[in-house]
Chain A
Amino acid sequence: MYKLLRNENMKLYSKFGTWLMMAILLLVVGLVGLISKYDAPPPDVSQWRSHIEQNIQAIQNSLQNERNPQIARQLEDQLKINEYALSHGFVPIDYTAWSYTKEAISMIPLISLFVIVVAGGIVANEFSWGTIKSLLVKPHSRSKILLAKYMSVLQYALVLLILLFAATFACKGLLFDFSYWDTPYLSVDAQGHVQEGNVILHLFATYLLHSVELLFVATIAFMISTIFRNPSLAIGSSILLLVLGGLATNLLAVKYDWIKYSLFANTSLTMYQDGTPLIEGMTLPFSLIVLGSYFAVFMVITWTVFTKRDIVR
């Protein structure tokens, strides 16, 4: 299995396009970083204490006339974190080089796009090149060969996420400075105590949480690639889904309740963190079940088609 994966990676990373996409990602990170340096400079780090004090004041004001208990709870937590940061002298993430990394979560759809290109080609290309024949007349089951391909796609997605993560940090650090990079991430646990966490782990976990949509569009591209054996079709339709899926879901969610069973209504798991589910009554377990079901169906279709069908010209 390891050798199969190594083969897939050898094929993937020997292609110009694979590196081009990484280069484009770096370029975008660099450009956006440069533009924001002049366009929207970050808050002055020497002023962070007074900013936090102002923020505490503001939160206290809004707490007084907040009736929604959930929001009130969130505000209280924020208050605790601010006070903890002040008393321990922890500079908030927004004043460090990590701020760009945090903002760059909005660039994950770009990664989705690149991963679609890889996922849509990885099976279909073998068919269009004719190499699928030599690939399958080897002492490995078809499922294992397909799994190696799928893993290679996920690995590439991970590589791009890490690249975005590291590049944004480096970019911000180089354009400004790296000071306070080891500031802890503060959160409030269920008992109401403030916890110190590792900022790198926390941010990367956030990246992964925002990559649910990426995982699904990649899986769909992979599935279409396997079923129709046509890279352009797989890539094209998946990109369409990436662009329109979330949009259409949000539009329909206003009118129809059943939309909560659709895939894209459930991919933004962070809506539960923010306490604003797309449709009232949706919960995290509900979304996980819906996502799990979609995932299982996609997997079953992809693997069944690949293992059962004849290889024809």
Chain B
Amino acid sequence: MKSEPVVQLRNVTKKIGLKTIIHPISLDIHKGKVFGLLGPNGAGKTTIIRMIVGLASITQGQITIHGANVKYEFEKAIQHVGAIVENPQMYTYLSGYRNLIHTANMLPHVDRKRIKEVIALVGLEKSIHQKVKTYSLGMKQRLGIAQALLHRPSVLILDEPTNGLDPAGIRELRDHLRKLAEVEGTAVIVSSHLLSEMELMCDEFAIIQDGKLIGVKSLEEMMHHDSSDVTIALQVDDPEEAYEALTTAPLDISCTLKDQTLTVKLANDQIPRVVFTLAQGDINIYEVKRVTQTLEDKFLEMTGVR
């Protein structure tokens, strides 16, 4: 059973001039879930985020956050939101701390203690009193996340949050977002074209291409939507002979032999029979490996790049 969605998009359309940048899109984003907006460059991810946070007008359709319409009750809707749109931008001539004060002054109920808390959270204690001018991209990104988390928003929106973070930073962010979603019930929206990390971060994805919503899938759906069919890679002493044996055997499988690797596509319950057939043919088997299709493969398949 699902709760009432926290963020709702209903037939949201964006036109600039005569050009339709976003074709009608409807999405539901739920409490405690990390929701990914996935798409290649120029797909319209940032445009969708801009509309959610009120930076861009909505040509048609409506967006609500906790039931408040972004267009008509902006202040009510946005008070729940912490957001970074594209790169986080700071006042570089102010210190990191002053930047946080600036943000805190615009938000309800943020005290000094909370400011200290978020500084510790993003690990900027050492450099917080330096001017932002001296920060690296990753440090700015961390400061941006601190700013977005300051008022404990129930909706966190991050556009390309991993941009500029080192692997350790990405891991930290990922763990933190997961924790926010699971422990505090925050609805998190992230956008990215880097699928490999989205895979580890998100519960649900909307795949966007050319301003159109191609599909919304949960992670499991994405990974196992035809789990009856699997691909295995076999490492044997004589691949050619093995290929012979398998293709002539009465099995409902498809084999390919490429670069001395034998790949077989088959139903899951056929695997033992394949092994048996090979053993019967006196072929030495060193490894039977299930080849998982990565999200990246799926994604590229869906968006038709491959």
Contacts and interface: CB of A to CB of B under 8 A. Distances in A.
Interface of A: 3-4, 6-7, 10-11, 14-16, 129-131, 133-141, 308, 310-313
Contacts of B74: 141
A129 B98 CA distance: 16
A136 B54 contact: yes
A136 B92 contact: no
A127 to B, nearest CB: 10
Most buried by A among B55, B76, B103: B55
Please list the 7 inter-chain residue pairs (A to B) with the smallest Cβ-Cβ separation, ordered nearest first: A130-B89, A139-B79, A138-B106, A311-B55, A3-B105, A310-B56, A137-B53
Contacts of A133: 55, 85-86, 89
Of the four ranges (under 10, 10 to 19, 20 to 34, 35 or more), the interface on chain B belongs to 20 to 34
Nearest to B90: A131
A273 B56 CA distance: 50
B175 to A, nearest CB: 24
Most buried by A among B50, B81, B89: B89
A11 B105 CA distance: 13
Contact of B57 (A11, A16, A134, A310): A310
Interface in B101-130: 101-103, 105-108
Given A7-B105, A310-B56, A311-B55, A134 B81 contact: no
B91 A131 contact: yes
B89 A129 contact: yes
A130 B90 CA distance: 8
Contacts of B84: 134
B78 interface: yes
B11 interface: no
Contacts of A140: 75, 106
18 contacts: A6-B105, A7-B102, A10-B98, A10-B102, A11-B102, A14-B93, A129-B91, A129-B92, A131-B90, A133-B85, A133-B89, A134-B85, A134-B88, A137-B83, A138-B78, A139-B79, A140-B75, A311-B50
Most buried by B among A14, A15, A16: A14
Given A11-B94, A16-B93, 11 more contacts: A6-B105, A7-B102, A7-B106, A131-B90, A131-B91, A134-B88, A134-B103, A137-B81, A138-B106, A140-B106, A310-B55
B87 interface: yes
Contacts of B103: 134, 138
Given A129-B89, A130-B87, A131-B89, A137 B55 contact: yes
Interface of B: 50, 53-57, 74-76, 78-79, 81, 83-94, 98, 101-103, 105-108, 147
Contacts of B85: 133-134, 137
A7 B88 CA distance: 18
A134 B147 contact: yes
Contacts of A311: 50, 55-56
B17 to A, nearest CB: 12
Nearest to A131: B89
A140 B68 CA distance: 15
Contacts of A130: 86-87, 89
Contact of B89 (A6, A10, A14, A134): A134
A131 to B, nearest CB: 5
A237 to B, nearest CB: 25
Contacts of A16: 93
Contacts of A310: 50, 55-57
Contacts of B93: 14-16
A141 B74 CA distance: 8
Contacts of B57: 308, 310
A129 to B, nearest CB: 6
Contacts of B92: 129
B107 A139 contact: yes
Nearest to B55: A311
A15 B92 CA distance: 11
Nearest to B78: A139
Given A141-B75, A311-B55, A4 B106 contact: yes
Nearest to B52: A137
Contacts of B88: 134
B252 to A, nearest CB: 54
A294 to B, nearest CB: 29
B59 to A, nearest CB: 10
Contacts of A129: 89, 91-92
Nearest to A139: B79
Most buried by B among A4, A15, A131, A308: A131
B142 to A, nearest CB: 15
B15 to A, nearest CB: 11
A4 B105 CA distance: 7
Contacts of A141: 74-75
A144 B249 CA distance: 77
A43 B42 CA distance: 74
Nearest to B51: A310
A310 to B, nearest CB: 4
A133 B103 CA distance: 12
A4 B75 CA distance: 15
Contacts of B94: 10-11, 14
Contacts of B91: 11, 14, 129, 131
A130 B46 CA distance: 14
B146 to A, nearest CB: 12
Contacts of B79: 139
Contacts of B75: 139-141
Nearest to B77: A139
